[in-house]
Amino acid sequence: MHRRRAPNFTYVSGCVKYMIFVINFLFWLVGGLLIGIGLYSFIDKWQATGLIKLNSLYDFILNISLLIALIGGVVFIVSFAGCVGALRENTCLLKFYSLCLLILFLVEMGGAVCGFVFPRSLQGFLELSFKEHVVHAYRDDTDLQNFIDFAQRDFHCCGITSDGYMDWAKNEYFNCSSPSVERCGVPFSCCINATDISSGLVNIMCGYGVQNYPVAEASKRIWTSGCLEIVRSWSERNLYTIATVALGGALMQLFVIYLAKTLEGQIELQKARWQT
């Protein structure tokens, strides 16, 4: 004899439903914060300079404020779909949400495979893609300039590609034909000791004229290796740590996709019960 179910019985698990809602609500807040930060930075820079150059895809990618706002927008939309889909038990939104997570997961896996299996090929592709644009735009975009200075100072590198500090010969302010006092030099963030110990002030002239020196002589004053080469070497030294973190993130994404598909199946089962 079959036991009769109570009239208010539901196949939808409240634990799964509200777990998806809470996770996506947190990401929804993060996405909104990123949008606000990116747009505020973009508007502030626009009011300060009055000129925002977006002539190509590279200009958009290298515009840090717009890139942050774009990433925030994607996170905001996808997590909002997860929130509303779980709370309102909407299968269309849940399918959209799980599809976006699956696409993101596949893109990440593709990037990871290229990075771990073909590190030098990936480095060569990035060098070819950004070599001219990053160096040329150094003084045109303050956000990009601050980012490059941060990378060179913290990763102990100078320039982008395997040419190292000689990459700055392609910048209109640092090439040797420039009328600027910075000609044949590099940014101060390339210097090994840019800050004076006694005064605590940054010597912005510490990299002047180093393009005229051979590598052995220049290495006494500045970091000479390109940043992509340093990052690749660092990645190879910390391969297991990076792989562990990436695996943890991938498993978390798969777990959330599993929760979304589980909730979607429970909702479909509940709808079928109502129809019968």
Measured in degrees and rounded to the nearest 5, phi and psi for residue 251 equal -65, -35
Confidence band, pLDDT 50/70/90 cuts, at residue 216: confident
The least confident of 52-56, 94-98, 169-173, 175-179 is 52-56
Q: How many domains does the chain have?
A: 1
Instruction: Identify the CATH number of the domain in which residue 268 sits.
Output: 1.10.1450.10
Residue 69 domain-assigned (yes or no)? no
Q: Which domain holds residue 217?
A: 89-275
Residue 80 domain-assigned (yes or no)? no
Residue 63 domain-assigned (yes or no)? no
Confidence band, pLDDT 50/70/90 cuts, at residue 199: low
Compute the average pLDDT of residues 114-135.
66
C-alpha–C-alpha distance, residues 103 and 48, integer Å: 38
∠ CA 6-10-11 to the nearest 5 degrees? Answer: 125
State both tokens at 9: 């019985």
What pLDDT is stored for residue 20 in this prediction? Answer: 92
Residue 221 domain-assigned (yes or no)? yes
Residue 161 domain-assigned (yes or no)? yes
What pLDDT is stored for residue 101 in this prediction? Answer: 92
Residue 74 domain-assigned (yes or no)? no
Exposed / middle / buried, residue 155 (Cβ in 10 Å: 0-12, 13-18, 19+): middle
Residue 218 domain-assigned (yes or no)? yes
Q: Is the pTM of this model over 0.85?
A: no
C-alpha–C-alpha distance, residues 208 and 191, integer Å: 10
Residue 255 domain-assigned (yes or no)? yes
* pLDDT tens figures, 141-160: 777 888 889 889 889 999 88
Compute the average pLDDT of residues 245-257.
89
Compute the average pLDDT of residues 107-125.
70
C-alpha–C-alpha distance, residues 64 and 140, integer Å: 13
More confident residue, 3 or 61: 61
More confident residue, 86 or 125: 86
195 has which bridge partners? 202
* pLDDT tens figures, 252-264: 999 999 999 998 8
Compute the average pLDDT of residues 234-238.
84
What pLDDT is stored for residue 103 in this prediction? Answer: 92
Residue 78 scores a pLDDT above 80: yes
